[in-house]
Amino acid sequence: MAGLFESAGGGSAVLALDELEASVLRSLEVQMLELIGPGPGGDGEGDADPLAALFAEGPTEAPADPALARLFPDAYGDPERPSDEEAREAAAEFRRYTELDLRARKRDDALHVVRSLDGLGGEGGLVELDAAAALRWLGALNDLRLTLGVRLEVTDEDEQGLYGLPDGDDRKPLVMAYLWLGALQESLLEAIAD
């Protein structure tokens, strides 16, 4: 997989994807949507009462899934010191009022990527992103990379070791996706900075 972003000027970017790249990226984003879950309305398509949504309160506990906990971390406290009651209460309060919006943004970003890829008609092609769409893609790529990093138990120290995995290693396909997403993310950052 070699498709990387190029600058189109003014914070916009273009990405040429072959059919396999588009399929893999779409599949990963659909899995991200499933991981994040539907919105408060149940299906994420806006069937909830808009007034009730304004006053909806989110969860107060961090997600049990480590990948979701990485995407929606506690805002306060040291995870190494869970006995800090005051920090735990502050984190719960912060989560209660912010997590639903954060989930909605992450869901919208992933859905935007899926729809962009659907615009290719199931084939490869050129994805053209204006400045706003580029930022949505950047968020969605970051979320995918963070999630795969958690699933692969990647740490800063062992990221370089991922390049040397033997072909028979069961993690190899996920590692290849993780590294490709990192390259995509980096190229998009460079493209929007030009």
115 pLDDT higher than 70: yes
Residue pair 89/128 in contact (Cβ under 8 Å)? The answer is no
Res. 167 pLDDT band, cuts 50 70 90 = confident
Q: What is the pLDDT of residue 44?
A: 45
23 pLDDT higher than 70: yes
DSSP string, 75-139: SSS-TT-TT-HHHHHHHHHHHHHHHHHHHHHHHHHHHHHHHHHHTTTTS-EEEEE-HHHHHHHHH
Chain-centre distance for alpha carbon 47: 24
Q: What is the pLDDT of residue 78?
A: 64
Residue pair 159/145 in contact (Cβ under 8 Å)? The answer is no
For the chain, percent of residues with pLDDT exceeding 90:
56
User: Residues 19-39: what's their mean pLDDT?
Assistant: 94
User: Residues 106-127: what's their mean pLDDT?
Assistant: 93
User: Residues 152-173: what's their mean pLDDT?
Assistant: 82
Residue pair 154/107 in contact (Cβ under 8 Å)? The answer is no
Place of tokens 């984190």: 91
Res. 106 pLDDT band, cuts 50 70 90 = very high
Q: How far is it, in rounded angstroms, from Cα 140 to Cα 143?
A: 5
The two structure tokens encoding residue 53: 């949504």
192 pLDDT higher than 90: yes
9 pLDDT higher than 70: yes
* Phi and psi, residue 4, nearest 5°: -130, 155
Residue pair 143/32 in contact (Cβ under 8 Å)? The answer is yes
For the chain, percent of residues with pLDDT exceeding 70:
87
